[in-house]
Structure 1
Amino acid sequence: MRHIFPVVIWRFLGIITTMEQDSAQGKQAIDALVGLGHMRVWSVIITIFGDAVVGRGGKVAATTLAALTEQMGVKPEAFRVALSRLAKDGWIERSKSGRLSFYRLSAQGVAEFGPATTRIYAPKAGTEAGWHLVVLPTAAGESSWGDAVSLGGRCYLSPRPVTDTEALSMTGPIGKVPDWVKDRLGAADIAADYAALLQVLKQHSGAGVSDLQAAVMRVLLVHQWRRLVLRHADLPPRFFPDDWQGEACRTEVHRLRAELAPAADSWFNAQII
């Protein structure tokens, strides 16, 4: 017994050390993803709904949302302000059950977020099929063309047919994509953000993190990916600069999401009922 007791203590201390190390790994990954910036709390909450809540009945307790955002370093005051703003702007709806508050995406929120889902989780970039090269009779503000991409002056790339009868619209195979078009489609600030995200993703895995940390990591992963992939045209890599890291990021996003899935889903399934 004199020999067994120290061995048991040693193993117990080893388990504690491993747990602490695992927790540290998760915290480092979370800090790295938060450190990429662009952490508008209201936008992160929308990501939580889209990635984890909508597919689980659509309703989540405020305490669950708070547990996730707290791990990201969001202060309670900022969390409450974000919820209030989302409710005021019609994105979410609130209900009560006893002393607990619950939230779900409103019809407006579903309509706004739903169409983006396909792009966010797509296994690869879109094709060039169906895009239209449009020349307008007069210059137009970019805001008036929605998801069309300005190539400068009166020229646009549009993912759908145009209704302006005065516009010249052409569709079909596109030959060589000149560098000036690539630079226009792949803005330097987005390219830099992709490069930064890729560096973080390559440094972390889903191994050795708690269920809660896995859930937080997945939300942050999807959030950082979402804010980039929705900022540019959904076109194949040949339409972007040669050093474009968008598709390399996509590969790493899918890799890390798959690694995090078992633990993250376990946490979400226990919290969202």
Structure 2
Amino acid sequence: MSAFPALETLIDNFRSRRPFRAGSLIITLYGDAIATRGGTVWLGSLIKLLEPLGLNQRLVRTSVFRLSKENWLAAEQVGRRSYYSLTGPGIRRFREAFKRVYAEHNPEWDGRWLMAVLNQLSQDDRHKLRQELEWHGFGTLAPTVLLHPQMRKPEFQGLLQEFEFHNDVIIFEDLGEGSIASRALRLQTRESWNLPKLSESYQNFLDKFRPIWNHLKEKNSPSPEQCFQIRLLLIHEYRRIILRDPELPEELLPGDWAGSAARQLCYNIYQRTWQGAEQHMDDILETAEGPLPPPNSKFYQRYGGLKSL
């Protein structure tokens, strides 16, 4: 492969991260690539694909087994080979999470809020659900009251169903319409969401991937393997931030908000690397029938339409 110092630095930083969450990277890989190409791969080919990123055979096997226990993946044995597919609940989780990752721009806000009241949950269940909701971008209005500006009731009810809390959480919707310009609301936003921490995460993302973009603009096209590594780490890092972002309207955000620049950078790099990444996966990944099937039509709709270079 051609020299690519920025990518080498990115991979080294990923390998040195502690704790090393291999399962999270595998989730990103399934959501970004495998889900759109049949959803099933041979474990041996998955190990080969991820080894250059620092995931050895034992780590991948252990992580995949754990994801199976957590009902993300399901195994099928064909001869001596194990093939892993997304489960039904796993597909639903990916569908909701990744549609935000590939959005062309932030959704417009109509001034409405969804409120969740957790008073009827036990203390342990309340803590468990609060952690999950904060991961989905909810802000805290009070210890047992959380808010979200974009999530709507059907999506939220599906989330509660997964945790079997659908009968224990009080839901209010369509609150606060027309109050977007209120000073009190802007101040409350800063209290309910840790916007400085979220902005710092976006800034770290920009610092990591701007050198990658600079190289892509100035140098020859990277190899298919390099494209795959860039794309996987790009979406992995971006996914971890965007899912915590409530996607507040611009009127409620600081003037120097880094989220917009991060979205544009992610879009630019993805457009430049998606084809090479697909080629590399064609060369490495296998199903029980042989090569991976081609991506489905929804894959090409990402970011408003993927462009061939």
Classify the TM-score, shorter chain.
Answer: 0.7 to 0.9
Q: What is the one-letter code of the residue matched to 1:244?
A: W
Match of 1:172 in 2: 177
Matches of residues 20-39 of structure 1 in structure 2 within 5 Å?
A: 20-22=2-4, 24=5, 26-32=7-13, 39=20
Q: In structure 2, what is the Cα distance between the partners aligned to 1:89 and 1:151?
A: 31
Task: Return the offset for 1:221.
Answer: 0.7
Q: In structure 1, what is the Cα distance between the partners aligned to 2:110 and 2:19?
A: 32
Of residues 269, 276, 286 in structure 2, which corresponds to 1:263? 276
In structure 2, list runs of 5 or more residues that go unmatched.
157-168, 286-291, 293-309
Of residues 118, 130, 139 in structure 2, which corresponds to 1:149? 139
Task: Return the offset for 1:271.
Answer: 3.5
Alignment check: 8 A CA contact 2:43 2:83 kept: yes
Q: TM-score, normalization: structure 2?
A: 0.70
Q: What is the one-letter code of the residue matched to 1:150?
A: T
SS for the counterpart of 2:104 is coil
Pair 136,221 (structure 1): closer, same or farther in 2 beyond 3 Å: closer
Task: Return the offset for 1:35.
Answer: 6.1
Match of 1:184 in 2: 192
Q: In structure 2, what is the Cα distance between the partners aligned to 1:109 and 1:137?
A: 25
Which structure would you say has the larger Rg?
1
SS for the counterpart of 2:212 is coil
Alignment check: 8 A CA contact 1:131 1:157 kept: no
Task: Return the offset for 1:64.
Answer: 2.7
**Deviating more after overlay: 67-76 vs 248-257:** 67-76
**Deviating more after overlay: 124-133 vs 215-224:** 124-133
Match of 2:205 in 1: 197
**Deviating more after overlay: 153-162 vs 252-261:** 153-162
Q: What is the one-letter code of the residue matched to 1:175?
A: A
**Structure 2 residue 107 is matched with structure 1 residue 102:** no
SS for the counterpart of 2:107 is coil
Task: Return the offset for 1:82.
Answer: 0.4
Q: TM-score, normalization: structure 1?
A: 0.78
**Structure 2 residue 28 is matched with structure 1 residue 47:** yes
Q: In structure 2, what is the Cα distance between the partners aligned to 1:43 and 1:113?
A: 12
Alignment check: 8 A CA contact 2:202 2:259 kept: yes
Match of 2:152 in 1: 160
Task: Return the offset for 1:243.
Answer: 3.3
Task: Return the offset for 1:256.
Answer: 0.4
Task: Return the offset for 1:30.
Answer: 3.0
% same residue:
25
**Deviating more after overlay: 210-219 vs 48-57:** 210-219
Match of 1:237 in 2: 250
Deviation string for 1:122-141 (max 9, x for gaps)?
A: 11122222632659697985
Task: Return the offset for 1:45.
Answer: 0.5
RMSD, aligned α-carbons: 3.2
Matches of residues 200-215 of structure 1 in structure 2 within 5 Å?
A: 200-205=208-213, 206=216, 207-215=220-228
Alignment check: 8 A CA contact 2:31 2:94 kept: yes
Task: Return the offset for 1:36.
Answer: 7.0
Q: In structure 2, what is the Cα distance between the partners aligned to 1:57 and 1:175?
A: 46
Q: In structure 1, what is the Cα distance between the partners aligned to 2:212 and 2:18?
A: 17
Match of 2:52 in 1: 71
Pair 169,135 (structure 1): closer, same or farther in 2 beyond 3 Å: farther
In structure 1, list runs of 5 or more residues that go unmatched.
1-18
Q: What is the one-letter code of the residue matched to 2:192?
A: R
Q: In structure 2, what is the Cα distance between the partners aligned to 1:104 and 1:135?
A: 33
Deviation string for 1:129-178 (max 9, x for gaps)?
A: 2632659697985736945422346764343359848x696242311452
Match of 1:249 in 2: 262
Give the count of matched residue pairs: 253
Q: In structure 1, what is the Cα distance between the partners aligned to 2:27 and 2:86?
A: 8
Pair 185,61 (structure 1): closer, same or farther in 2 beyond 3 Å: same
